[in-house]
Amino acid sequence: MRVRVLGTAAGGGVPQWNCGCGGCAGARRHPERRRSHASLAVSGSSAGPWYVVNATPDLTDQIEAWADLRPEPGGRRSPLAGVILTDAELDHTLGLFQLREASRVSVLSTAAVWRGLSNGLRVHEVLAPYTDLSWRELRDGESVRLDGGLRVRAVPVSGKRPRYAAEERAGHWSVALRIDGERGSLVYAPAIADWSPELDKELSDADCVFVDGTFWDDQEPRTAGFSRRTATQMGHLPISGPSGTAGRLARLPARHRFYTHLNNTNPLTDPDAPQHALLAADGIEVAAEGMILEP
């Protein structure tokens, strides 16, 4: 299995267009600190085909940045085989509309996510005149075979609906993904509201894990001044503190342990922040955009 990190930022990216916080200001002064919306590309081999995990607003730039994701010269033969969604949030789905030039777009998600996209964003209705949009359901605990020898399984982590789908019924609105290749496995969990026994089981024997690193501590949204809610109330377990995930992540046997989906207020957006050393002491890193792994 081959994994390419396409982006590592939470909604809005780093810098966010209307924000002058320390993280955004630092990214404007130092372009190497810029982060695009969190996403991965995964393949069963170096030759593809590739699946993109979450279709972000940055999707076309994320594809163009890497030669192995670009089409072959002389035609429209993209190595992209489909999109796997962890949730229905805008920062993970708006890129679907940018794929309209494809002859066919294959989407894998839970039934709740597809219902939200269909009813709220009218994704099928909008894209039908442009491309053949197909959907495969990710059912709780059921493994789905992908091209290239991969298998993917959804692990529910939150029932939090996107704001545009607030009236939709309950369901598996946010999941972690367990992806297994012929050799190697990964768990991708960019949003975690609950570290459930089911999630813990999937993480316990994965070779590579990417975990929700949206906020450093639970009070960050309040202290940053953009919300009255805590990180936990916003559906994201923080990294540090009593409810933090760092201790659990440190105990995992995975060879690669990363945080991803960083909010622009997270001190980890600064590569010189002391929080990096605290994580490094436990063998944890912040995922770097463009890094490639073969778990």
Mean pLDDT of 235-256: 96
Which structural domain, as residue segments, surrounds residue 241?
2-293
Q: What is the pLDDT of residues 90-134, one digit of tens each?
A: 999 999 999 999 999 999 999 999 999 999 999 999 999 999 999
Q: Which residue has the tokens 């969190």?
A: 38
Burial of 65 (0-12, 13-18, 19+ CB in 10 A): middle
- Domain with residue 270: its CATH number is 3.60.15.10
The DSSP string of 77-93 is --SEEEEE-SB--HHHH
**Structure confidence at residue 74 as a pLDDT band (50, 70, 90):** confident
Count of residues in the chain: 295
158 and 174 Cβ atoms separated by less than 8 Å: yes
Gyration radius of the chain over CA positions: 18
pTM beyond cutoff 0.85: yes
34 and 271 Cβ atoms separated by less than 8 Å: no
117 and 86 Cβ atoms separated by less than 8 Å: no
d(CA 232, CA 239): 11
Structurally, how many domains does the chain consist of?
1
Name the residue among 164, 153, 165, 158 with its Cα closest to residue 261: 158
Task: Identify the DSSP state of 247.
Answer: H
